[in-house]
Chain A
Amino acid sequence: MALDAMSDIPDDALLVLFANGDRAAARALTLRLTPRVLAHAHRLLGDRAEAEEVAQEAMLRLWRVAPEWRQGEAKVTTWLYRVVANLCTDRLRKRRAVGLDAAPVLADQALGPDAAMQGTARAEALHAALARLPARQRQAVVLRHLEDLGNPEIAEIMETSVEAVESLIARGKRALSADLSGRREELGIVDD
């Protein structure tokens, strides 16, 4: 089947095709899911090289689980976000064990005059502040405000209640606001 013809096929149906040996399905899933998996891993880890390793490992786990996937039972992306989160948690734990956790992992650079650079600087400032949040708050805020998921799906990914997710997001956002408030002028977010 041509790749274009697969754009309307849901993830779980593609996964069944993949398990049946369809190479076009493998390609379609790779192109569709790897960017999301990589972006999520990068947002949780703040490190490009590690995020790439996590993305490859998460996708490999997806390929291996494909023959046992039961269509309609779980969303493929929900499953993937959970795998990515677990892999990232393992890496963050190892970082703490070797004393690397304190270092902000994303560049926290000064702002240039250009608007595009301003946007980049805002994003980088956010990533640096996210890296300073407790892991569960970071995961909840990233899933809600950067991956744009609803709280029930986030609760499923994080294996907790919707109320707990709401609390994690609220606390995470308060901490981010406090962390970033001193840089508003520099980042072009001017108080009236």
Chain B
Amino acid sequence: MTETNKDVEALEAHFKAARARPLAPPDALLARVLADAEAVQATPAPVRTVPRRGWRPVLRAIGGWPAAAGLLAATLAGVWIGASPPEGISAYLPGADVAYIIDLAPGTGLDLVEGAL
């Protein structure tokens, strides 16, 4: 549909009439709006606080940064030993089906029994 000048003028007559007749606020509405405003003013604004992060209390509980560093080092050492045990320590770790008896001082047992010491 092509818009003609007549269409534009006719529509403008409607707009002009509507602009001249806005819905005026009744006094009761103004009173309610003002009452809301005063109620908000009477309420103290919430104080903005930075939310306390969850790890800070934990850090304080274990004794601060030095304690946390020690704990971390011990944890890492434990993980490292678990993942790649040094050769000497593997004998003390539980095997699947093999048991070892290690005599740390062969020969002394007999002497003890006989009271030769």
Contact = CB atoms under 8 A, between A and B. Distances in A.
Interface in B55-89: none
A176 B29 contact: no
Contacts of B23: 38-39, 42, 48, 51
Contacts of B25: 34-35, 38, 52, 55
Contacts of B34: 26-27, 30
B32 A123 contact: no
Interface string A49-66: 001100110011001101
A154 to B, nearest CB: 15
Contacts of A42: 22-23
Interface string B1-31: 1010011011101110111111111100110
Contact of B14 (A48, A55, A126): A126
A146 interface: yes
Interface stretch (A79-87, A88-96, A132-140, A177-185): A177-185
Given A145-B15, A174-B3, A123 B21 contact: yes
Nearest to A40: B22
A40 to B, nearest CB: 9
A123 B6 contact: no
Contacts of A59: 33, 36-37
Contacts of A26: 34, 37-38, 41
A120 B15 CA distance: 11
B29 A38 contact: yes
Contacts of B30: 30-31, 34
Nearest to A63: B40
A176 B11 contact: yes
B32 to A, nearest CB: 6
Nearest to B36: A60
Interface of B: 1, 3, 6-7, 9-11, 13-15, 17-26, 29-30, 32-34, 36-38, 40-41, 45
Closest 5 CB pairs of A and B: A39-B22, A122-B17, A126-B14, A26-B37, A63-B40
12 contacts: A23-B38, A23-B41, A30-B33, A34-B30, A67-B45, A120-B21, A122-B18, A125-B14, A148-B19, A177-B7, A180-B10, A187-B14
Interface of A: 18-19, 21, 23, 26-27, 29-31, 34-35, 38-39, 42-43, 48, 51-52, 55-56, 59-60, 63-64, 66-67, 119-120, 122-123, 125-127, 129, 145-146, 148, 173-174, 176-178, 180-181, 184, 187, 189, 191-192
